[in-house]
DNA sequence: AATAGATGTGTAACCGGTTACACATTAGGT
DNA sequence: ACCTAATGTGTAACCGGTTACACATCTATT
């Protein structure tokens, strides 16, 4: 492996000059520059990022902390982030937190020791004080942390309202909600949106809300109970797409036809929705865009640009599948 | 941020002693050790990984290069790898190559400059010479590169045979194959396995093999053509699970009942299989295990342990869903 | 012709660790 | 009591870059 020193010797200049050529800083005579460039090419010299990082206290690396990359929402976010980063010569470190506060903190610690330039995080447990104290640029995705911390998400309350409104518009008369976990802001907001749309309805009962955990099996179980106890429910707003799959499974087990007997709408718009049968109607987040905006915002933060907007709330769209009736039917 | 120097001053010892305490190397008097440890705690000192990396020429980081993390096979592999790595204090860098040789090479270059300790790669384009030349420990996953390069995969030929045998055992009389891309070894092997099982059959025609590209839409299109031209095909072995979804979509569009009119079997065993309706019968790879074995093998390589086996071929299992008839039906 | 500013280059300190080596002290063996 | 080996600690070089600063030369201005 050749070093800047070898290049300097070979080109008969000092390491400072080589460094100037590499970084296009300071003055370098055109002749000298060409000579150095020639030697660099000859030796196939590639500067050592670690040495540079040590001095500059930055690593051209950012970390993404997600609960679990296996959850189909996150790979698309990760892909978007990585696309933006790699186009700017940054590198992405991937961390799975399992929504565990200890793991999140451990990752933060390690990242700080590695001079990671910034972190994009999906968390429900990290506090603004902790983040502040670490002093690493950070952007939250999907789940809101604090007004002080930039966040990229959709308006979950609005999205949930749209979901319920849509079910209503297709003729559903009794709409239940299998919500996501209690401590997760996005799940909370979707619940709030649902509640806002239904609480003044004469048919509404608090029993229409059940708590799932963003996972299929448990949702199937919960839905089966719900439908057994309330057979006249004809619409379910699931906390996310995976849960919608769970709801559909339960409905099928109970012999209910979808969407004739029961309409199901999800949330997220992961590509899975188009693979199931029936295809799932869902409130689709612009997932790729969320990732790319988050990455862009983090780079702005890192590179000291003013960030015009702290909280990006992107628009949801409704993706119509066959898990809901067609309007007016 | 406190440094080793500050700790040394505070504890009235030299940096060498602090370093010895940190790394449990050399001789350190117990009293001294306690004193240093106390100061480290007081100052909340965390050693700087970058400085250590520079000297040690290793970064406790490994890179995973996959075609696209958005393909549902890879997040599970990534998760497994990350689990193993984080338990050993290694960090994972994620790269998306899009199966593009230039991108793969660029990542390799960058990783080398960052002193990445090793690479796990899913590639069809990298040559052993190139890899050799970079001199970075490497493990291939899913796709075989060269006998010299450790590889973790399943026996795709055997798996494909099992798939076809299973279709036969459930009564299929004419079995087609929508295969994956030509240049990908795993797709090639699955095709070979299929061929081996069918070429001696009287009903077999070369027209029963169509080429897809591991993607749903194109597979649907291809399947539609296949079934229109050969209406009596009653079984399809899809190149992977995503393609199986495409096959099922096509069958439904043509009004064929699954599995009564057409049996479909996939390959991979991604969690998607359990979410569709009907659930997809598939030749399941032990995906998580593939990832963890790959990670473990790479660490063995990095840490200089002898690797007993260069090519790990893990066992596939058959996951029975409702996309195939029950045996003997 | 004198001088300020631009241009060009090298020396050496610095980033924050690790470790070879030197040196001292203590313990153990005969 | 003497010698060797084990124990304990500090100094300084090193990893491979970046950059402040010093210094020299060249150009332009008055």
For B258-317, what is each residue's pLDDT tens digit? Answer: 999 999 999 999 999 999 989 999 999 999 999 999 999 999 999 999 888 899 999 999
Tell me whether B108 touches chain A (CB under 8 Å).
no
Angle at B57 between CA B51 and CA B63, to 5 degrees: 100
Is the pLDDT higher at B192 or at B1?
A: B192
Does residue A290 register a pLDDT over 80? yes
> Which DSSP state fits A274?
G
Q: Which two tokens stand for residue A105?
A: 């903190």
Query: A159 to chain B nearest CA, in Å?
Result: 24
Give the integer Cα–Cα distance in Å for A227 and A174.
11
Average pLDDT score over residue span B158-171: 97
Chain A hits for B94, CB-CB cut-off 8 Å, are: 64, 78, 82, 92-94
β-partners of residue A140 are A121, A151
Structure tokens at A136: 């690493």
A134 and B CB contact within 8 Å? no
On the question of pLDDT at A146 being above 50, the answer is: yes
Which residues on chain A are in Cβ contact (under 8 Å) with B72?
72, 75
pLDDT class of B327 with cuts at 50, 70, 90: low
- Specify the 3-state DSSP secondary structure of A234: coil
Q: What 3-state class would DSSP assign to A323?
A: coil
Q: Which domains does chain B have, with CATH numbers?
A: 4-47 (1.10.260.40), 56-154+287-316 (3.40.50.2300), 156-285 (3.40.50.2300)
CA-wise closest residue to A169 among A8, A6, A5, A326 = A326
C-alpha A169/C-alpha B237 separation (Å) is 41
Over residues B211-241, the pLDDT tens digits come to 988 778 899 999 999 999 999 999 999 999 9
H helix intervals, A12-90: 15-23, 30-43, 49-56, 73-87
Q: Does B76 touch chain A (CB under 8 A)?
A: yes
DSSP B21: H
| Distances in whole angstroms, Cα of residue A146 to Cα of each of A202, A290, B211 | 36, 18, 50
Mark yes or no for CB contact B277/A248 under 8 Å. Answer: yes
pLDDT digits (tens, 9 = 90+) for A88-112: 999 999 999 999 999 999 999 999 9
Q: What is the mean pLDDT of chain A?
A: 95
- Using the beta-carbon criterion (under 8 Å), do A115 and B47 form an inter-chain contact? no
Q: Do B245 and A275 touch (CB under 8 A)?
A: yes
Measure A30 CA to C17 C1' (Å). Answer: 37
In Å, how far are B138, B211, B237, B312 from B180, measured between CA atoms?
A: 25, 6, 11, 22
Asked if B92's CB is within 8 angstroms of A47's CB, the reply is: no
Confidence check: pLDDT of B76 > 50: yes
The interface residues of chain B toward chain A in range 261-280, judged by CB-CB distance below 8 A, are: 271-272, 274-278
pLDDT given for residue A215 in this prediction = 77
Q: Cα–Cα–Cα angle for A133, A135, A140, nearest 5°?
A: 95
**Is residue A327 over pLDDT 90?**
no
| Nearest Cα residue to B141 out of B271, B291, B307 | B291
Q: Does A51 touch chain B (CB under 8 A)?
A: yes
Q: Which residue has the tokens 């029936």?
A: A278
Say how far A24 CA is from C12 C1', in Å. Answer: 21
How many angstroms separate the CA atoms of B59 and A88, rounded? 22
The predicted structure's pLDDT at residue B123: 97
CA–CA dist B41, B20 (Å, integer)? 16
Confidence of residue A28 (pLDDT cuts 50, 70, 90): very high
Task: Provide DSSP, B206-263.
Answer: GGGEEE--S-HHHHHHHHHHHHHH-TT--EEEESSHHHHHHHHHHHHHTT--TTTT-E
Chain A residue with minimal CA distance to B109? A46
Residue among B45, B57, B94, B108 with most chain A CBs within 10 A, to mutate: B94
Best probe of the B interface among A92, A243, A275, by most B CBs < 10 A, is A275
**Amino acid B83: pLDDT:** 98
Q: Which residues touch strand C (CB under 7 A)?
A: A 12-17, 20, 26-33, 51, 54-55, 57; B 1, 3-5, 15-16, 19-20, 22-23, 25-26, 45, 47-48, 50-52, 54-56
Instruction: Check whether B325 has a pLDDT greater than 70.
Output: yes
Please classify residue A304 by burial: count the beta carbons closer than 10 Å to its beta carbon, then call 0-12 exposed, 13-18 middle and 19+ buried: exposed
User: How do beta strands B138-141 and B118-121 pair?
Assistant: parallel
Q: Which residue has the tokens 């991604």?
A: B270
Q: Is the pLDDT of residue A213 over 90?
A: no
Q: What does the alpha-carbon distance between residue A138 and residue A159 come to, in Å, rounded to a whole number?
A: 25
CB atoms within 10 A of CB A250: 25
Residue B329 confidence (pLDDT): 44
**Res A307: pLDDT:** 86
CA of A17 to C1' of D21 (A): 15
Cis peptide before A127 (omega within 30 of 0): no
Whether the predicted pLDDT of A209 surpasses 50:
yes
- Is B50 within 8 Å of chain A by CB? yes
- The structure tokens listed for A74 are 């996150």
> Exposed, middle or buried by CB within 10 Å (0-12, 13-18, 19+), for A145?
buried
For chain B, what percent of residues have pLDDT higher than 70?
A: 99
Alpha-carbon distance of A242 to A217, in angstroms, equals: 10
Any residues with CB less than 8 A from the CB of A318 and at least 6 apart, and which? A162, A163, A166, A281, A282, A283, A284
Q: What is the pLDDT of residue A329?
A: 44
The residues near A72 (Cβ < 8 Å, ≥ 6 apart) are: A241, A242, A270, A271, A272, B72, B75
For B179-205, write each residue's pLDDT tens digit.
999 999 999 999 999 999 999 999 999
Please provide the size of chain A in residues.
Answer: 329
The C-alpha of B92 sits at a distance from chain A's nearest C-alpha, in angstroms, of 6
Nucleotides of C under 7 A from a protein CB: 7-12, 14-21
């Amino acid at each position: 492996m050749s070093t800047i020193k070898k290049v300097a010797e070979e080109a008969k200049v000092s390491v400072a000059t080589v460094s100037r050529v590499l970084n296009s800083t300071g003055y370098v005579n055109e002749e000298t520059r060409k000579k150095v460039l020639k030697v660099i090419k000859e030796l196939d010299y590639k500067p050592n990022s670690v040495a540079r990082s040590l001095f500059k206290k930055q690593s051209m690396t950012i970390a993404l902390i997600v609960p679990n990359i296996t959850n189909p929402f996150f790979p698309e976010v990760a892909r978007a982030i990585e696309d933006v980063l790699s186009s700017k010569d940054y590198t992405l470190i991937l961390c799975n937190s399992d929504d565990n506060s200890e793991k999140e903190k451990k990752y933060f610690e390690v990242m700080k020791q590695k001079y990671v330039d910034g972190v994009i995080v999906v968390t429900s447990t990290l506090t603004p004080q902790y983040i502040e104290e670490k002093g690493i640029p950070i952007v939250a995705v999907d789940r809101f942390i604090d007004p002080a911390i930039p966040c990229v998400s959709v308006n979950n309350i609005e999205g949930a309202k749209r979901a319920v409104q849509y079910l209503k518009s297709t003729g559903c008369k009794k709409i239940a909600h299998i919500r996501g976990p209690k401590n997760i802001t996005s799940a909370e907001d979707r619940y709030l949106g649902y509640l806002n749309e239904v609480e003044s309805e004469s048919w509404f009962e608090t029993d229409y809300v059940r708590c799932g955990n963003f996972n299929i099996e448990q949702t199937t179980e919960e839905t089966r109970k719900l439908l057994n106890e309330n057979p006249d429910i004809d619409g379910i707003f699931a906390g996310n797409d995976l849960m919608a799959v769970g709801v559909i499974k339960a409905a099928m087990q109970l012999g209910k036809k979808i969407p004739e007997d029961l309409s199901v709408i999800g949330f997220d718009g992961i590509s899975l929705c188009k693979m199931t049968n029936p295809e799932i109607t869902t409130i689709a987040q612009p997932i790729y865009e969320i990732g790319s905006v988050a990455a862009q915002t983090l780079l702005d933060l890192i590179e000291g640009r003013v960030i015009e907007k702290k909280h990006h709330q992107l628009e949801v769209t409704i993706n119509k599948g066959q898990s809901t009736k067609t309007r007016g039917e």
